[in-house]
Amino acid sequence: MSEIRFDGRVAIVTGAGTGLGRSHAMGLAARGAKLVINDLGVSADGVGRSSEAAEAVADEIRELGGEAIAHGADVANEEDVADMVAKTMEKWGRIDIAVNNAGILRDKSFAKMTMDDFRKVVDVHLIGSACVTHACWPIFREQEYGRVVLTASSSGLYGNFGQANYGAAKAAMIGLMNVLHIEGVKKDIRVNTLAPTAMTRMTEELLPPEAKDLLAPETISSGLMYLVSEDAPSRVILGAGAGCFAQARIYETEGITLLPGDNTPEAVAAAFAQVQDPTGQKGLADAFSQTRKYAEKAAKAQGLPLKWTD
């Protein structure tokens, strides 16, 4: 297989001042990409503001012979993001890659969490990812080329105590990816989701010290670089950590069909083992695929003709 390179490509990486974002940015720069290092410079819980971390990473890339600029946009602020995108276009005239990595944590059990803490986390992760991608989207469409990565988490895919806000925001990335994949496919805009597990400032208090080297951010960034390469897949949820990579998928079981006279909650309860039976389960291409599946199954069960207009 030929070497994956990013020569001539311009990438925006959010939250790139430290940890995983920095690792992504350094990896892309080492393979020829021009980088926009975005970092608001806040603490792990989103407090404060400083450009030092972003400037330091941009300086490091330039010292190594690469091209980089720093920008301290708040990813959830449309005016900040518009300025970042405008300055990128002024500098290089194109944007090819958007890596949405910025995030914060405000962990508490749901009973103790304030709605302000819930909204802030969702704002940074979900609205921030949407803002950056939305600002880049017209450029991608005009170029007929774009690569987007959204950052999810096992907390969103599988749940984690004390992270209702973070888990909800991270699970939302899957829905955003699914729609953007469908809307972008004709313009060669490929959209994927990375679900990483790494030792960063956001997780260091949760993991034992001996896990530090195993779960270094650098063990993940090779997967990220594939997801934004020219030959990248699209609509993939890539789990990554400690050099391990796996695809997470959403399936729907074959399920059951209840006739109108039998469609009661008791009937659903009685057949629930069959509802959950994984035999024959499959992924669905889009929301209408589920609608079509159910309508076809119901029509067949009732002996009714059904013709689609498409």
Catalytic residues, by residue number, are: 166
d(CA 216, CA 197): 9
Residue that the structure tokens 């990013």 belong to: 6
For residue 281, give the amino acid letter: Q
d(CA 247, CA 3): 22
d(CA 308, CA 62): 57
Residues 99, 47 contacting (CB under 8 angstroms): no
